[in-house]
Chains A and B, each alone.
Chain A
């Protein structure tokens, strides 16, 4: 806990130092240094105590409402893990990218504030995970929510960036409003603000309108985590933000939404039956729509953003399983669902952080992250390519990486629920498993597309052909995260039991069967690990054999066989639009693809253009019109301020008369 405090202070120092040094080169060293040091100390604080320990500190706090109560329990620690790991990696990566030669369009004087807000984001995230009081949590939450607005708008001379930053700000605030309502209503109903006191009050007295509170929490935290239909800010914000910020947002900040939902479920106590099913359904809908839209994207960062939506959906599914399990008394399902959710969040943070940082390197090297501009980068940026492939393998949930382990735990939780009493629960669970499988299949397609089109084949533009690898400083965080991922793959069972600590601390669970279920799941991961080991060993063996055989019989290098076509160019390669065409034929609506074919008239058109775009349909069809309707209504109502003073007097007169007639 002391170390945790030190890390907060380091963040604060980094923030203020960077702000004070605005305009000097040193800002780009002090800011990242603060973030790095704070993260490393924080990491030490997470590991310095046993995983199951819980601590609580109430510090003096100057406000008449709430308390400055901070504490670390297993759930906090686990959700802090991505914050610290990514905080360290992104600080280094950001220092490299903002200090490098790529930043000519970013005014020098903007780095001080940038690092200020980066440190503030880390500070806010740490406080969110540690807050044990509603008011304190809200303050931390808002600080955490506001900082990214400034981080996203680093390159605010581009109109898309401004637009994205604004969308982010609005989404974050609307979510926060729901949370304010949630905590205020909770506070008003119980009269206390401390988390422990709230939980006790909720357990003792039947909370009035608990379902409404749950709905508010789901909306508020869902807006942060990017659950459908509140995900619209993600695909806008991530491409606009600098990559180290995207990595931070996607890996750590949106996880805070899941964390918040976790806390809300803890606080609300005994769940109504529909909560778990609502979470399950929402999670699956989010995951499916997220991955389908990810598949449709032609911009790597947008693709990654939608993939984050998908993964948060899976985490929500885990929480839903936990809820259903707790409510039906199925401890196995509850423990595995909750542990699976945390496990998945951890995995996602590592993979997505790595992928976004790789995307950032691509952006620096090529100047674009649109798949139509990339290709063949694997040979030009070998480390980045390898890291991206590794991340893609992991995020698609393929063995032998721990992404598979996470999904397996979720699947085990579902499987333990297929003998629930009643037809509907069973059908629901089966549907969930099938949906999980579909998500896995589409994730594979999406990341095959991302990795394959960006890093393999021939470069599609001269910029991609001339891409130059980044410096060592920029590669260090990639390798660090890749190392984390490999370690996680090797120690997946241990990671699960770590995640299990959070599940065991969840109130309302019988620890003994839950512990047994977790132990069994760890065994299963062990066995699965054997198979994974088999895969690695066999691959190596086959590769060894292959190299022996080829040295014996010789290799000839030729051009790619063109199937008889003699003038191939890099433009005839399969592109982002064509790659998803078979899927789009069936699933155009959920993928949100729209295509336009412009062709000259006549039988032999000289020119034809096919444009395939994938705007967010929900934003296009729902939110934008909604905002327009509100704006138009307000405009129409503005006639009351017409500028004629005598009518203003009429308002006053009418008010008096009406009040007198009404009240007397």
Chain B
């Protein structure tokens, strides 16, 4: 159990690190770290009965979130020749404050909800919510389309984290949906990014404000 908690703490740290780093390449690496950490989670929270299922899930996560997606990101980065420095709307310190606020809000939320006994390991719920909030903060607070995709993925990771304890409940739809979401994030947004860079010579979506009232 200690191992599990340290994985969760590590996930929270990675989440906060998302908000603190200034280079796109670092962020891409962080996604790999998070993916690998996440791959541990199904294994660790699986009951004694269904190790096979958990192992399969863990492998899939490792392949997609730990390797596939960071690789795709790195490839896009090198191809698009973007400015490697992230330009924030919200300063890095303030972003960190927002991340910590998200953590506190998650902890508060945990006190408001009656947890069914034995479902969630301790710290999993706040860790998952923090991941969601920091991911969305990343979407909100950064200029570049790539950072938005990364932030979105971080949020997805949070949702996946929250969903894993339920995966033993017999339904595969949950996992499928998570994976599908990743598919959307990677491929659709990847295609869009491709078009954006082709049309605009940059993937700075800060320039995307011609449609307004």
Contacts and interface: CB of A to CB of B under 8 A. Distances in A.
A–B: direct contact at CB < 8 Å: yes
Contacts of A642: 209, 212
Interface residues of B, number: 22
Chain B interface secondary structure, helix, strand, loop or mixed? Answer: helix
Interface stretch (A381-389, A438-446, A646-654): A646-654
A80 to B, nearest CB: 48
A646 B208 CA distance: 10
Contacts of B205: 645-646
Given A646-B142, A653-B136, A660 B208 contact: no
A660 B211 CA distance: 31
Contacts, number: 41
Interface in B159-213: 205-206, 208-213
A572 interface: no
User: Which bucket holds chain A's interface residue count?
Assistant: 10 to 19
A206 to B, nearest CB: 46
Interface in B62-119: 89, 105, 109, 112-113
A649 B89 CA distance: 13
Contacts of B142: 646
B148 interface: yes
Nearest to A644: B209
A660 B102 CA distance: 13
A664 interface: yes
A542 interface: no
A533 B112 CA distance: 91
Interface in A623-662: 638, 641-647, 649-650, 652-653, 657, 660-661
A623 to B, nearest CB: 25
B19 interface: no
A643 B210 contact: yes
B140 A638 contact: no
A652 B143 CA distance: 18
B113 A646 contact: no
A646 B140 contact: yes
A164 to B, nearest CB: 29
A660 B112 CA distance: 10
B139 interface: yes
Contacts of B109: 660, 664
A133 to B, nearest CB: 42
A641 B212 contact: yes
Given A657-B105, A660-B109, A664-B112, A646 B209 contact: no
Given A650-B140, A657-B105, A660-B109, A643 B209 contact: yes
9 contacts: A638-B213, A642-B212, A643-B208, A643-B211, A644-B208, A644-B209, A645-B205, A646-B143, A646-B205
The 7 closest A-B pairs by CB, nearest first: A643-B212, A643-B209, A641-B213, A638-B213, A664-B112, A650-B140, A646-B140
Interface of A: 638, 641-647, 649-650, 652-653, 657, 660-661, 664
